Amino acid sequence: MSIIAPAKTISVGVVAERSKGAGPWSDYLWRPVSAFSGAPDTPAWTKLADDGERATFFVGSTEIELYRSEAGN
């Protein structure tokens, strides 16, 4: 098996929202709210905003690797 290099790599940052849980089994609910191109110098899990009900956090950066298809499209 050969290792194929990605055709393109894109750096992305992710933002998630934390809100209070509605039931007795969870304190918080988490959901992704934004993904953007680029990797800022902001440390992972930095709180960006908090209004008492919801808070948004910069989750961190990662890379998306895109590969060419080997099948006819």
Q: Which of 57, 50, 62 is nearest to 30 (CA)?
A: 57
Distance CA 64, CA 44 (A): 17
Predicted TM-score of the model (pTM): 0.78
Provide the number of structural domains found in the chain.
Answer: 1
Residue 18 belongs to what domain range? 8-66
Question: Which distant-in-sequence residues (6+ apart) come within 8 Å of 26 by Cβ?
Answer: none
> Could you tell me the sign of the dihedral formed by the alpha carbons of 16, 18, 22, 26, in that order?
positive
How do the pLDDT tens digits run along the chain, 73 residues long? Answer: 458 888 899 999 999 999 998 888 989 999 999 999 998 999 999 999 999 999 999 999 999 999 887 666 6
Residue 23 lies in a domain: yes
Residue 58 lies in a domain: yes
Q: Which of 66, 55, 58 is nearest to 9 (CA)?
A: 66
Residue 61 lies in a domain: yes
Residue 47 lies in a domain: yes
